[in-house]
């Protein structure tokens, strides 16, 4: 009987989590249509990254100096 109660409570918690995510997604979509949801501001300028790479700095070195990840450097170079 205890296992059944635990299983049912787990299912209810899983459903509630899905409902929360659905409401959050709906709120984000509504904010985007209003223009108030813009996301996080960039902390590193893509042009600065490209300029440093053109000056023969390594990608890891650029990332360390700017306090960003190497993936950020690669994304800036792919734009």
* Interval 29-63: pLDDT, tens: 999 999 988 888 888 999 999 999 999 999 999 99
What residues have CB less than 8 Å from 79, skipping those under 6 apart?
Answer: 46
Which of 70, 27, 35 shows the shortest CA–CA distance to 52?
70
Range of the domain at 72: 40-79
Spatial distance between the Cα atoms of 73 and 62, rounded to a whole number of angstroms: 8
Give pTM, 2 decimals: 0.56
- The per-residue pLDDT for 79 is 84
Q: Are residues 7 and 31 in the same domain?
A: yes
pLDDT band at 27 (very low <50, low <70, confident <90, very high): very high
**Residue of higher predicted confidence among 64 and 37:** 64
Q: CB of 50 within 8 A of CB of 76?
A: yes
**Residue 34 shares a structural domain with residue 49:** no
19 lies in the same domain as 48: no
Are 53 and 74 in a shared domain? yes
45 & 78 share domain: yes
Whether 5 and 29 map to the same domain: the answer is: yes
Answer for the pair 63, 69: CB distance below 8 angstroms, yes or no: yes
Considering its fold, how many domains does the chain have in total?
2
């Amino acid at each position: 009987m205890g296992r059944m109660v635990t299983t049912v409570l787990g299912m209810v918690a899983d459903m509630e989590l899905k409902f929360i995510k659905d409401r959050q997604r709906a709120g984000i979509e509504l904010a985007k249509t209003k223009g108030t949801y813009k996301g996080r501001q960039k902390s590193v300028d893509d042009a600065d990254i490209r300029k440093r790479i053109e000056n023969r700095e390594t990608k890891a070195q650029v990332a360390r100096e700017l306090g960003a990840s190497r993936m950020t450097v690669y994304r800036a170079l792919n734009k």
